[in-house]
């Protein structure tokens, strides 16, 4: 049991932050509050054993009664602190009020709109959470639910969708009838034979014939012809991704069936889809797309091949989008699913859909391509379909373990703590997942025996060091520096590739290398590879340096499969990989550095043998190696599932839980139910798990549901362009990069771009506006603006493109009247910073945190708390991380992630009225002598009763209006000032705008509220 903060020597609970139970901050014993005894004067009354004073005595000056002992003392202080804190909480509440003239105006407005005999009569509903529900349509079919569906139904629906969406770019390749055309067959055959006289084609054929896959061409083609599903496994460099699709195409053309051959090959990453398509086109002596035989399609970008007799490489998300319009993929003859061993969320879902699709299309061929490690698992999932293995094409790689490295370098770590870190960790009582805990237990028990086996081959000093430095907590960067020095001084030429889990390690190793004079010379090129690094720097990674210059690449696992660096000879495997997990019990994502899997280790080793015999140094010992998992946990078992659940419903795949039980490795029932509950709270699903009108719109937007809701509110409230900028950055990434050695300067520039908005979201908006203005003035100005503010021009362009795509979605559904995000009619309120913050609340609620001031002279930054986690931290990258003063006591945030502690990412300060109008259910209460208005019973504001009732009525009108707009999307006519739409929205905008500058200023942030750790 946790007692919160009792006396200073007492125990500290893990959720012991904040005030009394009415705001649910405290998770201490019983209903006790939490707080250290003050050193100043508490009321000097004696306690009667229940925390109530009875005159002077044992309780004077805040001391506990003398008769209390041990645990009772802690309970007494906890309860006393809770009472005190609840009182301070009550006094610090923001006051929600409005001036008399505005109050009269809104009252008059409400009387007018409530007399209208329109759909607004539904305003008796407490909120749109009730009225946006839609009954399930009994005529809706799930094409893969096992029931027999009339054959004409899906075709009719596809025909209707074709008519509706024929202009949409992403569906251009899909809508093509798979009908044989003999004339096209003959033309394709002539074209292929003609290539065989092309010297460029013949030169490429010489290279192709050397690939291991080419030697198995006939066997592969025969197996694909004879089976509906085939698993092709192959080592890195065998050529399966580039060759198998060409084998299928050329075989079909040679057999006179080219007109009905449409091969679609999925890739898990955008960069892979583009680079592979370009490579295949080059091998066919063609350019990519442009009506030739090979092209690609990714989000926002495509270079499509000819419609018949072609190969298309695309991301997995494109196929899922196609399935909405054509559930049978009726125009695809061969579907090749590549890199399925990576087990990302979309690939696993697509495997489940394809397995059901086979029952409805006996003419489609499915080819699954995987690394060798778990190919049998995929074969078993598809009813033990045939498998074929293609050997790799790499030079031999010598592998070394940690004991080899320590012995070779005679290394001793700087820390002389003799206890292995796993022992210290368990002494600290840190909790781990059960499976991880079991492995650590096994490691601990096996270590003495393993250490004895080392004594025949390694010195006692090495064994002592291994026991001392089991690197379960942190990677030893000093060891890596010594190892790099050893390679440079004693090994032949060749690039060195170092695998590290994240930015901190990459930055730290770079700093250690640059601190040594040796690596500052022109004989070395050091290249960090990370998403935070400028793209222009990363292009150097593919260039071979001049003779005598050594290239050192410090990378995350992006260098395992996504990119190939041809000149790498030496690989240093740090042994860790950053992995995201979702804790369903506490509803929080965690990101920690986990041990690599055998699959990761194998891929890393393979990077060293591309051009010559190589060496790979694994920085974990042999015992640890024996306990590595075969491969990483599938993403579907470690991420939130809301977006996936909406996709299941929009694809009409039946019950969410039932479908997810059929995937290769189903997620937990708890994770599925949590996602469904969140979607119901978001009004995206009704209580029967059917899509609401809002849910349909959210499912069709290519973003997670909260961001989709943000986009819709931006359109409805006339601030489209800035909101689309925010949505694009949250669903992709922000445009800031961090150059090594200039982190503080980058932080300063980012804060300058925030313009004191106290908002990461608006900082990105300001950055994008500045970039657009600079770009309009010319390339030099654009380049200078990005350079001075540490912005990636490529990312900014991507965000710009995404905004255009979002606007096209909104135009297609009727929410806006133009596909231009900056259209004037959609941006009448885009200069209103306070409204944009309110729209962020509308999208991201209930991701709310409370700010409390800190009066520490050493750390003047505020303290931040969430309802369920207690004290949390603003991520250091945020413009609010160092902020000491806020106007209000509430933040809205996008992501909560647990790493070294719980961090909030992308946060914005928001006002009380923003939470009242765009948060959850509001209720009117009386707390002692205060009238209060509460959002979802825990975000409480002080308010006169009449104002509270007025706000509640106005919120009902807004909910009803939004319900109507969601059901029947059409742009708000801002020029028609007398319309009900404009009147209600304008009144709320007016209130939000004025409230933030006037009466809503939170007293707690002006020094009236003090909380100490």
pLDDT value at residue 392: 78
CB-side exposure of 805: number of CA atoms within 13 Å? 20
Give the DSSP letter of residue 203: H
Helix, strand, coil distribution of the chain in percent, nearest 5:
45, 15, 40
pLDDT value at residue 82: 59
CA distance 7 to 81: 10
pLDDT value at residue 362: 92
Calculate the average pLDDT of the chain: 79
pLDDT value at residue 66: 78
Report whether pLDDT(262) > 80. yes
Give the DSSP letter of residue 583: E
Report whether pLDDT(123) > 90. no
pLDDT value at residue 826: 92
Beta bridge partners of 898: 590, 902
Q: What is the pLDDT of residues 632-647, one digit of tens each?
A: 889 899 888 999 999 9
CA distance 703 to 644: 10
C-alpha gyration radius of the chain: 31
pLDDT value at residue 1005: 37
Q: Helix H segments across 570-621?
A: 598-606
Residue 444: count of CB within 10 angstroms of its CB: 14
Report whether pLDDT(428) > 50. no
Q: How far apart are the first and last CA of the chain?
A: 20
The SS3 assignment for 873 reads strand
Report whether pLDDT(791) > 50. yes
- pLDDT > 70: percent of the chain: 78
Greater model confidence, 455 or 271: 455
Contact predicate 582/642, CB 8 Å: no
Report whether pLDDT(1009) > 50. no
Highest mean pLDDT among 93-107, 170-184, 680-694 belongs to 680-694
Report whether pLDDT(965) > 70. yes
Cβ partners under 8 Å of residue 842, min gap 6: 709, 710, 713, 918
Q: SS in 3 state form for 517-550? A: HHHHCCCEEEEEECCCCCHHHHHHHHCCCCCCCE
Q: What is the pLDDT of residues 979-991, one digit of tens each?
A: 677 778 888 888 7
Helix (H) or strand (E) holding 468: helix 460-468
pLDDT band of 62, cuts 50, 70, 90 = low
pLDDT value at residue 860: 66
Q: What is the pLDDT of residues 702-730, one digit of tens each?
A: 888 999 999 999 998 999 999 999 999 99
Classify burial at 284, counting beta carbons within 10 Å of its beta carbon; exposed 0-12, middle 13-18, buried 19 or more: buried
Report whether pLDDT(773) > 70. yes
Q: What is the mean pLDDT of residues 445-451?
A: 90
Tokens of 829: 């309120």
Show the domains of the chain with their CATH numbers.
Answer: 21-92 (no CATH), 173-390 (3.40.50.300), 397-633 (3.40.50.300), 719-827 (no CATH)
pLDDT band of 510, cuts 50, 70, 90 = confident
Greater model confidence, 140 or 369: 369
Report whether pLDDT(391) > 80. yes
DSSP letters, 774-823, are: HHHH-HHHHHHHHHHHTB-HHHHHHHHHHHHHHHHHHHHHTS-S-S-TT-
Alpha carbon distances (Å) from 286 to 190, 241, 445, 709: 16, 18, 60, 43
Strands (E) located in 344-391:
365-370, 387-390
CA distance 177 to 469: 63
Classify burial at 422, counting beta carbons within 10 Å of its beta carbon; exposed 0-12, middle 13-18, buried 19 or more: middle
Report whether pLDDT(164) > 50. no
DSSP letters, 288-321, are: SSTTSSEEEEETTEEE---SSSEEEEEEHHHHHH
pLDDT band of 534, cuts 50, 70, 90 = low
Of 494-508, 579-593, 770-784, minimum mean pLDDT range: 579-593
pLDDT band of 856, cuts 50, 70, 90 = low
CA distance 286 to 307: 16
pLDDT value at residue 105: 73
CA distance 653 to 493: 55
Q: What is the mean pLDDT of residues 738-766?
A: 90
Report whether pLDDT(165) > 50. no
CA distance 572 to 401: 10
Report whether pLDDT(51) > 50. no
pLDDT band of 901, cuts 50, 70, 90 = confident
Helix (H) or strand (E) holding 733: none
Beta bridge partners of 525: 551
Strands 365-370 and 387-390: unpaired
Q: What is the mean pLDDT of residues 224-238?
A: 90
Q: What is the pLDDT of residues 322-340, one digit of tens each?
A: 998 899 999 999 999 998 8
pLDDT value at residue 94: 62
Q: What is the mean pLDDT of residues 803-832?
A: 91
Q: What is the mean pLDDT of residues 786-806?
A: 89
Helix (H) or strand (E) holding 261: none
Report whether pLDDT(648) > 60. yes
pLDDT value at residue 152: 35
Report whether pLDDT(609) > 70. yes
CA distance 399 to 615: 6
pLDDT band of 1, cuts 50, 70, 90 = very low
């Amino acid at each position: 049991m946790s007692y919160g903060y009792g006396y200073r020597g007492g125990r500290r609970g893990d959720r012991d932050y904040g005030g009394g139970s009415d705001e649910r901050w405290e998770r201490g014993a019983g209903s006790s509050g939490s707080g250290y005894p003050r050193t100043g004067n508490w009321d000097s009354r004696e306690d009667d054993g229940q925390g109530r004073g009875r005159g002077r005595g044992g309780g004077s000056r805040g001391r506990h009664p003398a008769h209390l002992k041990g645990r009772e003392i802690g309970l007494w202080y906890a309860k006393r602190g809770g009472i005190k804190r609840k009182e301070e909480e009550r006094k610090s509440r923001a006051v929600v009020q409005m001036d008399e003239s505005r109050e009269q105006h809104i009252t008059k407005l409400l009387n007018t709109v409530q007399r209208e005999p329109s759909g607004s009569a539904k305003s008796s509903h407490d909120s749109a959470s009730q009225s946006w529900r839609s009954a399930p349509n009994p005529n809706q079919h799930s094409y893969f639910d096992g029931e027999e569906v009339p054959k004409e139904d899906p075709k009719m629906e596809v025909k209707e969708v074709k008519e509706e969406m024929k202009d949409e770019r992403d569906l251009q390749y899909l809508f093509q009838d798979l009908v044989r055309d003999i004339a096209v067959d003959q033309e394709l055959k002539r074209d292929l034979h003609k290539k065989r006289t092309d010297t460029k084609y013949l030169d490429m054929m010489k290279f192709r014939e050397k690939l291991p896959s080419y030697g198995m061409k006939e066997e592969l083609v025969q197996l694909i012809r004879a089976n509906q599903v085939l698993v092709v496994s192959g080592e890195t460099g065998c050529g399966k991704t580039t060759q198998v699709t060409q084998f299928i195409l050329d075989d079909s053309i040679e057999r006179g069936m080219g007109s009905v051959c449409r091969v679609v090959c999925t890739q898990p990453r955008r960069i892979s889809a583009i680079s592979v398509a370009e490579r295949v086109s080059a091998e066919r002596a063609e350019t990519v797309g442009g009506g030739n035989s090979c092209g690609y399609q990714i989000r926002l970008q495509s270079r499509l091949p000819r419609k018949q007799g072609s190969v298309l490489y695309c991301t997995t998300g494109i196929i899922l989008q196609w399935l909405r319009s054509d559930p049978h993929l009726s125009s695809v003859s061969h579907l090749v699913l590549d890199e399925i061993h990576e087990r990302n969320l979309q690939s696993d879902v697509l495997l489940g859909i394809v397995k059901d699709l086979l029952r409805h299309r006996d003419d489609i061929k499915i080819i699954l391509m995987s690394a060798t490690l778990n190919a049998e698992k995929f074969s078993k999932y598809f009813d033990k379909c045939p498998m074929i293995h293609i050997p790799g094409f790499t030079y031999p790689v010598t592998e070394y373990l940690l004991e080899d490295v320590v012995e070779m370098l005679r290394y001793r770590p700087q820390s002389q703590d003799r206890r292995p870190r796993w022992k210290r960790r368990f002494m600290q009582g840190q909790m781990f997942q059960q499976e991880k805990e079991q492995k650590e237990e096994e490691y601990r028990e096996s270590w003495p025996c393993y250490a004895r086996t080392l004594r025949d081959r390694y010195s006692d000093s090495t064994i002592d060091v291994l026991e001392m430095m089991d690197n379960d907590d942190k990677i030893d960067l000093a060891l890596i520096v010594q190892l790099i020095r050893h390679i440079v001084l004693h090994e032949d030429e060749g690039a060195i590739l170092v695998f590290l889990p994240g930015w901190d390690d990459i930055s730290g190793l770079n700093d250690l290398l640059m601190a040594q004079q040796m690596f500052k010379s022109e004989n070395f090129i050091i290249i960090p590879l990370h998403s935070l690094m400028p793209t222009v720097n990363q292009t150097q990674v593919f260039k071979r340096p001049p003779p005598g210059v050594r290239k050192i690449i410090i990378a995350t696992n992006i260098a395992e499969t996504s990119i190939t660096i041809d000149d790498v000879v030496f690989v240093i495997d740090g042994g860790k990989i950053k992995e995201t997990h979702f804790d369903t019990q506490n509803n929080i994502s965690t990101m920690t550095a986990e041990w690599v899997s055998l699959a990761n280790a194998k891929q890393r080793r393979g990077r060293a043998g591309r051009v010559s015999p190589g060496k790979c140094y694994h920085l974990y010992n042999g015992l640890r190696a024996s306990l590595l998992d075969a491969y990483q946990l599938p993403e579907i078992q470690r991420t939130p599932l809301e977006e996936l659940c909406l996709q299941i419903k929009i694809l009409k795949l039946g019950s969410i839980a039932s479908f997810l039980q059929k995937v290769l490795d189903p997620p937990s029932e708890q994770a599925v139910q949590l996602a469904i509950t969140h979607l119901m709270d978001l009004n995206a699903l009704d209580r029967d798990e059917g899509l609401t009108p809002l849910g349909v719109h959210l499912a069709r937007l290519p973003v997670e549901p909260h961001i989709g809701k943000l986009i819709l509110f931006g359109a409805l409230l006339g601030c489209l362009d800035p909101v689309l900028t925010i949505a694009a950055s949250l669903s992709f990434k922000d445009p800031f990069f961090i150059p090594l050695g200039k982190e503080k300067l980058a932080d300063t520039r980012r804060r300058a771009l925030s313009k004191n908005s106290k908002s990461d979201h608006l900082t990105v908006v300001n950055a994008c506006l500045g970039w657009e203005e600079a770009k309009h003035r010319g390339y030099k100005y654009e380049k200078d603006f990005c350079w001075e503010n540490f912005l990636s021009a490529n990312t900014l362009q991507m965000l710009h493109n995404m905004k255009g795509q979002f606007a096209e979605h909104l135009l297609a559904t009727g929410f806006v009247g133009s596909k231009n995000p900056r259209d004037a009619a959609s941006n009448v309120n885009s200069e209103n910073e306070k409204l944009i913050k309110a729209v962020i609340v509308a999208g991201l609620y209930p991701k709310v945190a409370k700010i409390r001031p800190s009066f520490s002279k050493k750390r003047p930054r505020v303290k931040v708390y969430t309802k369920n986690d207690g004290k949390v931290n603003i991520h250091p990258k945020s413009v609010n991380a160092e902020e000491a003063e806020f106007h209000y006591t509430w933040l809205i945030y996008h992501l909560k992630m647990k790493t070294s502690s719980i961090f909030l990412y992308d946060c914005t300060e928001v006002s009380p009225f923003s939470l009242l109008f765009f948060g959850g259910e509001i209720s009117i209460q009386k707390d002692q002598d205060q009238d209060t208005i509460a959002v979802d019973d825990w975000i409480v504001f002080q308010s006169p009763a009449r104002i509270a009732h007025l706000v509640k009525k106005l919120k009902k009108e807004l909910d009803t209006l939004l319900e109507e707009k969601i059901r029947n999307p059409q742009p708000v006519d801002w020029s028609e000032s007398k319309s009900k739409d404009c009147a209600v929205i304008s009144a709320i905008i007016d209130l939000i705008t004025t409230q933030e500058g006037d009466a809503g200023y939170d007293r707690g942030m002006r020094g009236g509220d003090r909380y100490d750790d």
